[in-house]
Amino acid sequence: MLDVNEPDRAALRTRRVAVLGYGSQGRAQALNLRDSGIDVVIGLRPGSAGASRAAEDGLRVRTVAEAVAGADLVAVLVPDTAQPALYEEQIRPALAPGALLLFAHGFNVHYRRITAPEGVDVAMVAPKAPGHAVRSTYTEGHGVPCLVAVEQDATGDAWSLARAYGDAIGGGKAGLLPTTFAEETETDLFGEQAVLVGGVTGLVKTAYETLVDAGYQPESAYFECVQELKLVVDLIHDHGIAGMRTFISDTAEYGDYWTADRPVWAAVRKHMNELLADIRSGAFAAQWVSEDERGRPAFAAARAEAAAHPAEAVGSRLRKLAG
């Protein structure tokens, strides 16, 4: 359940926080921390693109090793695949005993690609929104919910510091949900593959192809199977699934129930169970790490193939017409 206890907002006031990385989450979290009165320093490679932007935003920029050496809390906000090498080469040698190593996703800790020394706290604060929303909701006086977990509590302060961090980036106003590294990692990967990315893109592409192959206009197929998806997703977001049904036509609602017991959903459930099994066993993680280490040839090929799908050209044309 959401943590309704008041986070200890003073827990970070006397601590220095190093934010490593200045991408979507790094920039948003760093600016929110600063605006919450936290002492923040940014750790980046010399000459990196983010260094000039962070400086323009009025933040102090140091090398990764310099930022880590002077920090009580180190937020590792670089991409998952870049974290292990950065940790071994620059973070671990400079990490002070008793410091808190904090992540926004549990991938590398859960799959044991990063193992912290015994005297270091390890925690996670995972905002459930992309960086731009973490920043915009904060500036509007709100926030996004955050998942909070502690993997290693060497000092006894890990939970209070993690909750204080989540509150400082805005999560305290929306809810801090206690979890574990395993639960966050596995549910996050599953949600991406089964619904949010893999499931949605596979569904809309297949539906689009079904209509076009049956002789319908590509534009009609795109509107019905892709464009209007946002309308339903917004209704579900705001009102839940049952609430969404009160806003659509009775015909659409009956069509929802009409498809519910089709055999295809048993096959989909089987597919989802297989996805989850690969995530829980570490098979997906091992495959992704291997692909990254080979230079991502299959990744690049899949990206190019997806971008060349006929629906992309139709969608681009229709979006231009809409202004």
Of the candidates 192, 187, 185, 189, the one whose C-alpha atom is nearest the C-alpha of residue 110 is 185
> Is residue 249 part of an annotated ligand binding site?
yes
- Please provide residue 42's backbone torsions phi and psi, each rounded to the nearest 5 degrees: -100, 130
Helix (H) or strand (E) holding 283: helix 283-293
> Is residue 290 part of an annotated ligand binding site?
no
> Is residue 152 part of an annotated ligand binding site?
no
> Is residue 23 part of an annotated ligand binding site?
yes
> Is residue 22 part of an annotated ligand binding site?
yes
> Is residue 60 part of an annotated ligand binding site?
no
Cβ distance 93 to 65 under 8 Å?
yes
DSSP for 36-70, written as a single string: TT-EEEEE--TT-HHHHHHHHTT-EEE-HHHHHHT
Q: For residues 27 and 169, give the distance between their C-alpha atoms in angstroms, rounded to a whole number.
A: 11
Compute the chain's Rg from CA coordinates.
Answer: 22
> Is residue 160 part of an annotated ligand binding site?
no
> Is residue 72 part of an annotated ligand binding site?
no
> Is residue 24 part of an annotated ligand binding site?
yes
Produce one character per residue of 199-228: b if its CB has 16 or more CB atoms within 10 Å, e if not: beeeebbebbeebbeeeeebeebbeebbbe
Cβ distance 61 to 55 under 8 Å?
yes
> Which tokens is 38 given?
């936290």
- Looking at the annotation, which residues are catalytic? 105
E-only strand ranges, the chain: 16-20, 39-43, 60-62, 73-76, 100-103, 121-127, 146-152, 176-178
Residue ranges of the annotated binding site are 22-25, 45, 48, 131, 188, 192, 224, 228, 249
Residue ranges of the annotated binding site for substrate are 249
Residue ranges of the annotated binding site for Mg(2+) are 188, 192, 224, 228
Residue ranges of the annotated binding site for NADP(+) are 22-25, 45, 48, 131
